[in-house]
Structure 1
Amino acid sequence: MGKQMTEMLKGTLEGIVLAILSARSAYGYEITVRLREMGFTDIAEGTVYALLVRFELRGLVDVEKVPSEKGPPRKVYSLNEQGQAYLEEFWRTWSFLTERLEQLHKGGG
């Protein structure tokens, strides 16, 4: 991933991960795998875990500890009502930005 992509991704990764969680509950590694399947191959697991901790602290997700076959219980994250509202705001902002960028791209600046 190039530097420009990395910088743009920093601003949108929260929304991307919340969108993944809106589809279904998941633990950190599952989210990382899903991101890699989507082509975000350079995202480190640690980045995802740090984001999940921030979501938890901000009250955007509910967390359930689920027994694991190997090792300690896994923390499974699910989007709660506050997280859903935050995601909806992200999509409104995203739509606004993409519309304006598309105008600029087509020369309508």
Structure 2
Amino acid sequence: MELAGRKRLKPRRHRTDTKQKPLTYSHLEDFVACFNPANRHVRTPTWNSKTQDGRWRAFAREELLARDKASLDVFWLRDVSMTDLENLPEPEILVEEIMENLRFALANFEAVSTE
């Protein structure tokens, strides 16, 4: 079977073999320190109501069970580079901005193709 020029389908490698920035122990040091494998009863989260940008947070069992279907899909950190989804413009405005960007891109492609 040929897929887009490939002779066979290869499974994803999950980028564990990346050469630009391979995963090393130094990437996990903060986690290991907070996880405290030597004594799990002395774990110290870095998140609390005063330091809400802490990466390691403890959740009470009751808090997790109260979630929809006891979901463990929890997050509390916001990526500042991401769009604030709670304050998006109206859909009509978004559509117009997208169309304007597409028109601009198409005009650039047309200019390049006529050169």
Give the number of the structure with larger relative contact order, counting CA–CA contacts within 8 Å between residues 6 or more apart: 1
Q: Please tell me the TM-score bracket, short chain as reference.
A: under 0.3
The two structures have a TM-score, normalised by structure 1, of: 0.28
Structure number with the higher strand fraction is: 1
The two structures have a TM-score, normalised by structure 2, of: 0.26
Who wins on radius of gyration, i.e. which is larger?
A: 2
